[in-house]
Each structure stands twice: as structure tokens, then as C-alpha cells.
Chains A and B, each alone.
Chain A
């Protein structure tokens, strides 16, 4: 225990007297000035405490936030152009067939030489063209399937239904039709189906790449 004991009040009084005596004859003025100084000093101390405190917390927190938010400044996706099939692989009657898009992929630090990045519905048209849709649902991203019985696309999550041309049907919650993907027409002439694969933002009426 501190040997000085605990009588701060008495000591304080003594100190004050000493200060006042030091200040000289005009007790009142000295006391006033003392209070003003004291207040200013205290204000400065408080301001400085906040300043120093703010800086030292901001540094680690700032470094952390910068890393946390780094995905925002990462470059967006580019379309992946891939050969998925030959035209002759697709049924002539226009039944859709699903193909996986496999690509080299970088996931943070790992580089996968081959990894499925998504899938595509391909459909042959009577005029020899090919339609390609991203299987991801524009509503909330579930994988849209092909329902044989009704010959339509339908999403298992919230029951959106799409026609074979990708148009939204009935009361579907999906904000837009299925996302069509670009098919290389020149390659199509040679009987090859090349698709530029990309993902789009969900929940909105417009088709905007992620």
C-alpha cells in the first residue's frame, strides 16, 4: 500500500493554498487566471488524446479494412471463349443439352489448370443456328433445368419457368429471361459451337455482366 495514505482532500487544500500564495497579492485574479489556464490545458489534453487515440486505432483498422475491401478493386470477369460441342452433337429436334464450361481458373492464390466454372444450355435451331444460355437463374442464381414433360426450362428454387427461347413465362419471379450467351457464327459455319461464357448480375431486369 502506498505509504502516503489516503487523504487527498487535505493535501489538495494545502496545495491550493501554496499556489495562491505563490501567485502574490491579488488572490482573486490569480485564481481566475488559474481556472482559465486549467480549462484550456484540459481542453488541449482532451483534444490531443482524441487525436492520438484516433490515429493509432485508424492505422491497424485501416490496414484491415483495406484488405477486407480489396475484392472491390479486383478486376471484373472477362468472357471465356470455349468450344463446347460440334453442331452434330446437338439433337436435331431442338432438345437442349447441358455442357460444362471448364477453364483454367485462379481462386485467390490457387491456379487450377482445369476447373468447371459454370454450365451452358445449348439448343439447335431448325435454321441451323445454335442458342446458348447460361444455366444460372437470373433470379437468385440457382441452376435452371430442362423439364422434359413440359418441354420448358424451369428453376428448382422459386419455380421460374422459361420457354425454350429463354423467355420468361407465366408468373415467374425471375426479373428477366434466361441469359443468352454469344455463339461464334463463323465457327458455326464449320460445324463447331464456340460460346463466350460469362455471368450476369441477378435480381435486376437488365442483363449486366458481373
Chain B
């Protein structure tokens, strides 16, 4: 003990601990007092997990997403660490609101505690600031686009808007310095300020002691139940008005039932409130902070941790694809607690430049000011009532707007597709990283950029789908905007596709050349004359398909059939070689079938279909996509470059990293 005494003599630690623990709790320990402690706990968890995350995080545009990927998927227990940090941040917002509600209901802002209340409100805003800056740090599509929206809003600030935005973003563009700045704010400046304010907040709290909770009386309990009624009531209205029950018919009724139960409780309290004997009841015995209140606090914190872990395991912690400024993200949304504000800005009064300032700055500003003024308003009983009702209205409005926002999204086809696409891309980039054995130094985005499976459909939709369908859609799964006027290219060059082409009925159908000049061309005539049997078609298709091989997962077919096919197409039988070159021999009238639908053949074809090797003068409307020499000898610029044509071709041929593995499975 002498060591302890030695330390105590020099630090006074014993007295400090005693003072901290042996605080008297007027009216005894209560569950209602736990909110402040749970918040302190949540902040502590964020500090612990944050520092460990910091040890693995790298803030730059080419390494932020990558390091988070590494934490999430490769570091042992990184997913748990990041999960706890992420979900605690979400739950913290709820705890903040609960703490605020409790303080307002119990009049804990009244003299002499006004300053403590103001510090608390500042803490609320600081916490939101930390959340906002943290949202960007993974540098994924979600965080990137949400932050873009937030900083664009900043630009609406009167007078200094554009400059403010520039400073925060770290330049005119989003990049390395946006991340380094946000990271310094998120992990340095704001938490530093937070700690300072918390110290003051807790010091003031200790100075004035706990405000004894009113709801020892029934009338006081009314406050809480009314709060519950407001939230469940608004949710019920929203649920019915927007037909949440379409998929789960019971859902609105369950919410309504909860609402009814709460209303019942309120009515009961109200009826029996008059014979409230609290004034005559002996006052509850005082308790001690340690261990009575601390035990309750610890159990509440335990519940918070349990909730966090529940979400970590149930929902996981999302990491959307790496930020891509070139590709808009239809699912760009802020974190859920900003959704109400986000939705509000969509409403008519907040449209236009003036409306934006009104919605993004003035209205939130007024509301924040009102919250700030609560201690002054609430000096007397009426003011207190105004505060409570005002706060409930605020929370009710928040709930309604948030519910409306999510409801809106649930019905928004574009949003849903955006979410689905993001999920798919996130899974794909993971696959690519595994295939590649790591992330290239340029960052993970470069993997997606050079991936045919990701880029092929997009390029196809942008460049080919105005004429060619792909399996009936535009390649990305969206409906075609124009009537198809050229062959459907799903499975192009494969056995089935060629076999279809060699059958007159299909050849002249919309799936192939039905909408082109070739519908009644030489090939159609030839097919009509030849009257191929099914076996002929199969053999010829196998032979032609083998020219484009090897392609992943398609197999080269049976060699005997291929040989038969080539023999069949020769001079002595079908005489395809009268018009087409096959294996380098034959006529020049139709497209050269040497290496038919191989990677190079397709690139050459797309590059310039009017080349003599392909359609020549017979070419029907298809432009040259690569630079090519026109009929008069001058170079006609193509719309694409070799790399992008290659991506389209590889995608059409089903060749991309990992395709072999997928086919084998």
C-alpha cells in the first residue's frame, strides 16, 4: 500500500477517485440517468477503435479505399474493429437524442445548469461533424458522392460559400487533400474539441449534481409516454399513407398496435394523474453513484455494445466500390440521420437558389437556435411545456421526413438499380483483387477500369445498344431506348449464336438481320437455296465456333464434328468458300471467316466493318469505331480506341479475369 500512498501523496488520486465515485445521487440510482454514461462509453469506444483503425488507414485518393479494403477483408478481426466503429457511430446519434430528451423533460437545463446544456448542444453538433467527416474516409462511392453533395451545399453559404467549399475540399477538385483534411478533422481537430467540451460538460455536471428526475410522479412519466406516442403515431401515419404493407401486410398494423398501446398508457396516466400522491409520498432515498448508478450505467453500456455487435453480425459493414468521379452513383445518399434534411431539400419550398439557402442553412439554423434557447424559454412552467412540445415536434418531423426519404428511395427504380449495381461492382472488385493477387499501385479503380466484365456492358450500352440489343436489353440490364436495328449480340460467335445465324428463319428474324439490308441479301438467298439440314448447321456452326476459340467456358466442341464442318463448307459441298474466305482460302464477296469471331477478328471488324475483309461496300450503316481509311483514302476518326474496343470484345466473348474459374464452378 505504501506505493499507492506514495503516488497518492503526489497526485491526490485517491481523493479524486473518491470524489468521482462517491457522489450522492439524489433520489437514488435510476435507469433514466444512464444516457449520459452510455454516450461517454460510446465516445470511448470510438476513441479506442478509431486509434486502432488509424494504425491501418492511409488517407490518399489511391490508398484510402485500398487500406479500408485491407482492414475489412484481409486483416484478422479488421471487420470487427471497423464494424464496431461504424455501428457505434450510428447508435451514438440515437443516444444523443435520448440524452437530449431526458435533459429537456427533467428540466436539467434550468439555472444554474444552462451552460452545461449549451455545451451539450455543442457536443451534439461536434459529433455530427465527426460523423460527416468520417463518412468520406473509406473513399468509396457512397462516401464520395454524399460528401460531394454536402460540400456543394456548403457552397450555398451566403458570401463566403465558394471559398469555404474550396478550403474544405482542399482545392477545386476532390482528391488527396480532401482526404487528408477530412481525416485531420475526423481524427484530430474535432475529437480534440470533443474531449475539451466533454471535460467541461462533465465538470459542470459534477458541480451541479444530477437533476433529480421528475417522473417519480405519474405526471412526469406522461412526458415520456407522450414522446413515444409522437414517434409511433407519426410512423403509423406514414406506414399507412405509403402502403408499407405491400410486401409485409402485417407491418403497418404492428406499428399501429404499438401506437395504440402507447396511447392507452398515456390515457391511463392522464386519468389517474389527478390522484397523484407524489407530493405526499416520502421522498426516495438518496443513493450512491458507486456502485448503484454505475451498475445501471454498465448494464446500459453493455446493452449498447450488444446492439452494436448485433448490427455488425447482422448487417455487416458496407464498403461500396472505390470512389469514381467519372461515374455518377445513383444511390448517393448521406448517412441515415441526414436523410431528413436531404429529403427536405427535395420539397418544393426549398427549390431554387433561394430555397436551397433556406433549406440547407436558414431552417436548420433556426431550429438549432431554438434548441440553444431552450434553457431561457424553459424558465417557467409554460416555457418548459413549450420546450417539450417543440422537441417532440422536432423529433416527430425528423421521423416523418426520414421515413418519407426512405420510402421515396424504396420506390425509386433508379436508386434501387444504383444500389444493386454498386453491390455487384463491390463484389466484382473483390474478385479482381483476389485474381490479381493484390491491388495495383495505381489503386483499385484501375482494376475496374481494365475489367471487361465491368466496362463491357457500360461501353456496349453507350456505343452499341442504339442498334444492337444484348439479350434484349442494352447490356447493363436496362431497356433499350431505340428499336433494335441490328443483330442481338448475346453469345455472339458461340455455337448457338452461329447455329441460329445459319438457319434462314432466324437469319431473317429480328434477332439477326431482320432489320438490316442483309435480310434479303446474298446470304439469305444462299441459305434458302442450300436448305441445310440440322446436322449441316450443327457441323458448320461447330467449325466456325472453333475459329473464335479458345473462349472461356464455351469449349471447342467435338473435333470430328469440327472437321466435318470445315469439309462441308468447302468447295465440293456447300461451297461457302465461293463468297467467304475460310482458313485463308476462298472468295472475297462476304466477310472473311478466317479466325471468325476471334478476339482479333472482332476488334478488326468493329474497327472498320467496311473494310474489304468484311462487308466492304455492302456495309449497312455500321460505323468504324477505330480510326480507318475511308473510301477516298483519308482517315476517318473512330469513336473509340483500341483499349475500349478490346474491353467490349472481351466482354462479348465472355473473357475476363476469373471467368475460367466461374465457368469451372
State the Cβ distance, B138 to closest chain A Cβ, in Å. 13
Are B26's CB and A8's CB within 8 A? yes
Are B76's CB and A70's CB within 8 A? yes
Are A111's CB and B81's CB within 8 A? no
Q: Pick the contact of A109 from B27, B69, B111, B212 — CB < 8 Å?
A: B69
B291 contacts the other chain (CB 8 A): yes
A106 contacts the other chain (CB 8 A): yes
Are A56's CB and B298's CB within 8 A? yes
Q: Which residue of A lies closest to B294 (CB)?
A: A49
Known: A12-B286, A52-B301. A63 touches B77 (CB 8 A): yes
In angstroms, Cα B159 to Cα A62, docked, is 49
Known: A1-B111, A45-B291. A111 touches B440 (CB 8 A): yes
Contact with A along B526-552 (1 / 0, CB 8 A): 000000000000000000000000000
Known: A8-B24, A8-B286, A67-B78. A56 touches B437 (CB 8 A): no
Are B45's CB and A60's CB within 8 A? yes
Chain B residues within an 8 Å CB radius of A128: none
Contact with A along B56-74 (1 / 0, CB 8 A): 1000000100110111001
- Range for the number of chain B residues in contact with chain A: 35 or more
B55 contacts the other chain (CB 8 A): yes
Contact with B along A40-76 (1 / 0, CB 8 A): 0010011011001101110111011111101001000
State the Cβ distance, B39 to closest chain A Cβ, in Å. 14
B211 contacts the other chain (CB 8 A): yes
A: number of interface residues (CB 8 Å): 38
Chain A residues within an 8 Å CB radius of B26: 2, 4, 6, 8
Chain A residues within an 8 Å CB radius of B51: 64
Are A63's CB and B439's CB within 8 A? no
Are A2's CB and B211's CB within 8 A? yes
Chain B residues within an 8 Å CB radius of A63: 49, 52, 77, 80-81, 84
Are B291's CB and A42's CB within 8 A? yes
Chain A residues within an 8 Å CB radius of B305: 55-56, 59
Q: How many pairs of A and B residues are in contact by the CB < 8 Å rule?
A: 124
Chain B residues within an 8 Å CB radius of A167: none
Are A66's CB and B291's CB within 8 A? no
In angstroms, Cα B80 to Cα A66, docked, is 10
In angstroms, Cα B77 to Cα A67, docked, is 6
State the Cβ distance, B190 to closest chain A Cβ, in Å. 20
In angstroms, Cα B56 to Cα A95, docked, is 44
A208 contacts the other chain (CB 8 A): no
Known: A1-B111, A70-B75. A48 touches B295 (CB 8 A): yes
- Tell me the chain B residues, 266-288 only, with Cβ under 8 Å from chain A: 282-283, 285-286
Q: Which residue of B lies closest to A15 (CB)?
A: B285
In angstroms, Cα B44 to Cα A53, docked, is 12
Contact with A along B304-315 (1 / 0, CB 8 A): 110001000000
Are B52's CB and A45's CB within 8 A? no
B333 contacts the other chain (CB 8 A): no
Are A49's CB and B291's CB within 8 A? yes
Are B291's CB and A70's CB within 8 A? no
Chain A residues within an 8 Å CB radius of B212: 2, 4
A18 contacts the other chain (CB 8 A): yes
State the Cβ distance, A109 to closest chain B Cβ, in Å. 4
Chain A residues within an 8 Å CB radius of B63: 109-110
Chain A residues within an 8 Å CB radius of B41: 56
B48 contacts the other chain (CB 8 A): yes
In angstroms, Cα B38 to Cα A56, docked, is 11
Are A14's CB and B282's CB within 8 A? yes
Q: Which residue of A lies closest to B438 (CB)?
A: A111
Contact with B along A1-36 (1 / 0, CB 8 A): 110101010011011001000000000000000000
Chain A residues within an 8 Å CB radius of B481: none
28 A–B pairs (Cβ distance < 8 Å), ordered by A: A4-B26, A4-B27, A4-B212, A6-B26, A8-B286, A12-B285, A12-B286, A18-B282, A45-B291, A45-B295, A46-B290, A48-B299, A49-B294, A52-B295, A52-B298, A52-B301, A55-B302, A56-B298, A56-B304, A59-B309, A63-B84, A67-B75, A70-B78, A73-B76, A111-B436, A111-B437, A111-B439, A112-B441
A48-B295, A64-B48, A67-B81 known, 4 other contacts, Cβ within 8 Å: A57-B48, A60-B81, A66-B77, A70-B76
Closest 4 CB pairs of A and B: A111-B438, A64-B52, A66-B77, A52-B298
A interface list, Cβ under 8 A from B: 1-2, 4, 6, 8, 11-12, 14-15, 18, 42, 45-46, 48-49, 52-53, 55-57, 59-61, 63-68, 70, 73, 106, 108-113
